[in-house]
A and B are shown apart, each in its own frame.
Chain A
Amino acid sequence: MVEGGDTVASTAPAIAWGGGSAAGRGSAVSDELADFGEFVQASLPGLLRYGHALTGNPHDAADLVQSVLEKIGSRWAHVQRKTADPLAYVRRAMANAHISRWRRLKRETLVAELPEQRTPEPVDPFEHEPLWQALRELPPRQRAVIVLRYYEGLSEAEIATSLGVSAGTVKSQASKAIATLRTKIGSVSGGRDEW
């Protein structure tokens, strides 16, 4: 297991934690955390990617993944008892954390203040993707619904359960989101959206 993380970005050193035979096998807690370490190592790239879809930028994705995983890891045994699919559990937690965080921060838009820039910044790889830009501007709950639907492939009912809202809410949020996206990409690409 020490070198186990083949699916993980190759630059990341194997988490020494995962070394199953390592010393400190003593307590249940360290077992639990070792197990969690393996889970993190294996799931991190996927979760960061998912966070990127959810938040619209890599930095917020990293923030989100870290804060959610730390919380979940601190009660890992409990989470494992509670769910057979911890990865899905983490993704739902991320969606919810993202929504509530936005609600608390009351941020109007992700790109509210972008005066010109001197220092080189990592370029948004989707800078020229109207659809991505339009997604970024969606309110967080609408965006989450879209991500759960089209990234995760969840059904309407599953989304409702995940987010703890009614199916009706999911439906209305989805149709609002779709309508907005249609308008935005229609206008960005210059063509008229026939409907």
Chain B
Amino acid sequence: MVNPDDELGAELRRLFDDERLAVPPAPGAGDAIVSGARRRRRRRTALAASGGVLTAALLIGVGLGVVRQDTDVHQAAQPPVTLPLTTTSAPGPVVVPPSFPDTSTPPTLAPSPTAAPPAPFTTSPTTRPSSPSAGRTTVRPQPAAAVLGPTGYGKLRLGMTFDEAKATGMLAGADNAPVECTTYRLTEGAANIGSVTISPTGGLVVFTAAGARTPEKVGTGSTVADLRNAYPDLTAGAGNYSAATGSGDHYTFYVNSADTVVHWELVAPPGC
């Protein structure tokens, strides 16, 4: 096509051939995609409606992950990959949820009662009616709006040792103390909190939110403008924003290309 670009063309081919271009898929990414395809299909057949609004539902929980390279976190309590049919459980913090353009609409994520098998139009993230045994992503009713922060969630607090955290009874699969940073799911399911990360030295260092909101009512689906309103001291990073909780910890919000929060965490320094 453009002729005098042989050298540049060769450079471009070399670049596109570079092994660093590889992006490792997260464990479970394939499942998440198939589940997403199924949901889409159901919606279409059930409603014959275009998927615009509902795509927001995909924001939560389903993740095609990019394996994060900055942490060395092991997953504990990860049940064998069973029942992939309807599980949409995201693989812990290694998730980049989808951000199709129309998802700039904040998902009207009811923070709590995600339990009712959703009527076709709810944007309840996790369940679909036909999950007879979705043990892995069980969504149970939460009594009140789920709030994560400024220091913890429920009885779980940042800085708790593994034993203290285990004693709350909220950790799933907490059989062995972590020998390195390890993520645990909660016994209540992953609707509000995707996972917590416990370091053998720092204790509970990260809460990874799912549907939970901060006390300032921001969370997945919030826009960067919302974040700024809630946290005037917001600092921007590459693809994320941080805000101090006021107690030495911080929230980190990961945003998609539409500047909408797709994922967030409550983090105690120094993390893992």
Contacts and interface: CB of A to CB of B under 8 A. Distances in A.
B20 A36 contact: no
A139 interface: no
Given A40-B30, A74-B38, A122 B70 contact: yes
B70 A40 contact: no
A15 B23 CA distance: 18
A60 interface: yes
Contacts of A71: 37, 40
Given A104-B101, A114-B238, A178-B5, A70 B81 contact: no
A120 B16 CA distance: 26
Nearest to A60: B257
Contacts of A131: 11-12, 15
B23 A117 contact: no
Nearest to A34: B34
Interface residues of A, number: 77
A113 B238 CA distance: 8
Nearest to A123: B69
Interface of A is mostly: helix
A163 interface: no
B129 interface: no
A170 B201 CA distance: 57
B143 interface: no
A185 B58 CA distance: 40
B33 interface: yes
A75 interface: yes
B21 interface: yes
Contacts of B20: 125-126
A4 to B, nearest CB: 12
Contacts of A88: none
A44 to B, nearest CB: 5
A114 B237 CA distance: 6
Nearest to B239: A59
Interface centre among A44, A53, A67, A73 (most CB of B within 10 A): A67
Interface string B37-71: 11111001000000000010010001111111110
Contacts of B101: 100-101, 104-105
Nearest to A18: B30
B256 A62 contact: no
Contacts of A101: 100-101, 257
Contacts of A174: 1-2
Interface in A125-176: 125-126, 129, 131-132, 135, 146-147, 149-151, 155-156, 170-171, 174-175
A83 interface: no
Contacts of A119: 237, 240, 242, 252, 267, 271
A21 interface: no
A86 B20 CA distance: 25
A66 B34 contact: no
B152 interface: no
A87 B99 CA distance: 22
A71 B36 CA distance: 8
Given A15-B34, A131-B12, A151-B16, 6 more contacts: A48-B23, A63-B96, A63-B98, A115-B235, A119-B240, A181-B12
24 contacts: A14-B81, A16-B83, A17-B34, A33-B37, A36-B37, A40-B34, A44-B30, A48-B24, A52-B23, A58-B66, A62-B23, A63-B97, A67-B99, A70-B58, A70-B98, A73-B40, A105-B101, A114-B236, A121-B237, A121-B238, A121-B239, A151-B16, A156-B1, A174-B1
Interface of B: 1-2, 4-5, 8-9, 11-13, 15-16, 18, 20-34, 36-41, 44, 55, 58, 62-70, 81-85, 96-101, 235-240, 242, 252, 256-258, 267, 271
